[in-house]
Amino acid sequence: MATTLAKAADGIGTATHAARIEHVSKSFAGPAGQQLVLDDITLDVAPGEFVTLLGASGCGKSTLLNLVAGLDRPTAGTIGTDGRPALMFQEHALFPWLTAGKNIELALKLRGVQKNERRERAEELLELVRLKGAHGKRVHELSGGMRQRVALARAIAQDSRLLLMDEPFAALDAITRDVLHDELTRIWSETRLSVLFVTHNVREAVRLAQRVVLLSSRPGRIAREWTVDIPHPRRIEDTAVAELSVEITEELRGEIRRHGQH
């Protein structure tokens, strides 16, 4: 059951949570009957907070993100979000027959932005993701990193207060990913968006987040969480990032050993 926290916050002006996940469980029908994938997950994302959700492959990260996005319904529990979230996946999911700019303008149109304002707003968003001048470029003319920048601009065009990201940089090379980490951190601090970011990459989780939440596997439960108070700008090779990553990796290894996954 999805509710909208913004409604609950009417009259106050601001919601107290960007997302509120309460006692959420999810089962799927499998060959051996119902398979419990997520078990009693309770997690809040505060307004403006950056949370990474970390866990082994198959532990239910995408399932949880899809539930928060409202693409599927929990078997038990409730999920509320402050308005409709924007989504960004590993695949850019841009429309190949539209230019970079028109992909963004479409998101603006769906949001009800007037035609005469869309072009200028799309240009601004392209500038925000450092793709000034790319408005007329077709998707196939863009590199993987540029496509993810356009996808990020399109997600921001939706003017949501919550951005849900499912391994959006996983297919990129290490250097491009590192640059996009910087960009995402900058955009997050400029826009004060709340971000729930899924990854199985521990360093990426620590590099980006204010809070890292570790999911166990089979079924996915919240195993542990860490507050990351390392100041920005962070680098992936910073000692503090490396030290916390080692600690979290140990815990993740323990989870994987306990549940017999790769």
Ligand X SMILES: Nc1ncnc2c1ncn2[C@@H]1O[C@H](COP(=O)(O)OP(=O)(O)OP(=O)(O)O)[C@@H](O)[C@H]1O
Backbone angles phi, psi at 16, to 5 degrees: -85, -20
- Is 90 an interacting residue with respect to Mg ion (CB under 5 A)? no
- Residue from 17, 200, 207, 211 binding ligand X (CB under 6 A): 200
- Is 63 an interacting residue with respect to ligand X (CB under 6 A)? yes
Residue 63 binding result from Mg ion, ligand X, none, given CB thresholds of 5 to 8 Å by partner type: ligand X
- Residue from 3, 16, 57, 189 binding ligand X (CB under 6 A): 57
Q: By C-beta, is 47 or 168 nearer to Mg ion?
A: 168
Residue nearest to Mg ion (CB): 62
Can you tell me which residue has the tokens 């297919």? 171
Task: Report d(CA 15, CA 151) in Å as an integer.
Answer: 26
- Residue from 4, 25, 27, 62 binding Mg ion (CB under 5 A): 62
Q: By C-beta, is 28 or 95 nearer to ligand X?
A: 28
Q: By C-beta, is 37 or 126 nearer to ligand X?
A: 37
- Is 219 an interacting residue with respect to ligand X (CB under 6 A)? no
* Cα distances (Å, whole numbers) of residue 78 to 17, 73, 144, 158, 253: 14, 9, 36, 24, 30
Residue 90 binding result from ligand X, Mg ion, none, given CB thresholds of 5 to 8 Å by partner type: none
Long-range contacts of 250-256 (CB under 8 A, 24+ apart): 251/214, 251/223, 251/224, 252/54, 252/55, 252/56, 252/202, 252/214, 255/55, 255/56, 255/214, 255/216, 255/217, 255/223, 256/56, 256/217
Q: By C-beta, is 41 or 139 nearer to ligand X?
A: 41
Only one of the segments 7-15, 58-66, 141-149, 252-260 lies at the binding site for ligand X (rule: CB under 6 A); that segment is: 58-66
Class of residue 108 by CB neighbours under 10 A (exposed 0-12, middle 13-18, buried 19+): buried
Shortest approach of ligand X to residue 152 CB, angstroms? Answer: 20
Closest CA to 45 of 84, 7, 91, 81: 81
* Cα distances (Å, whole numbers) of residue 140 to 17, 51, 134, 144, 172: 38, 32, 12, 9, 16
- Is 189 an interacting residue with respect to ligand X (CB under 6 A)? no
- Is 88 an interacting residue with respect to ligand X (CB under 6 A)? no
Residues contacting 246, CB < 8 A, separation 6+: none
Shortest approach of ligand X to residue 142 CB, angstroms? Answer: 24
- Is 153 an interacting residue with respect to ligand X (CB under 6 A)? no
Q: By C-beta, is 62 or 249 nearer to ligand X?
A: 62
Shortest approach of ligand X to residue 30 CB, angstroms? Answer: 7
Shortest approach of ligand X to residue 90 CB, angstroms? Answer: 8
Backbone angles phi, psi at 143, to 5 degrees: -75, 170
Residues that bind ligand X (CB under 6 A): 28, 37, 55, 57-63, 200
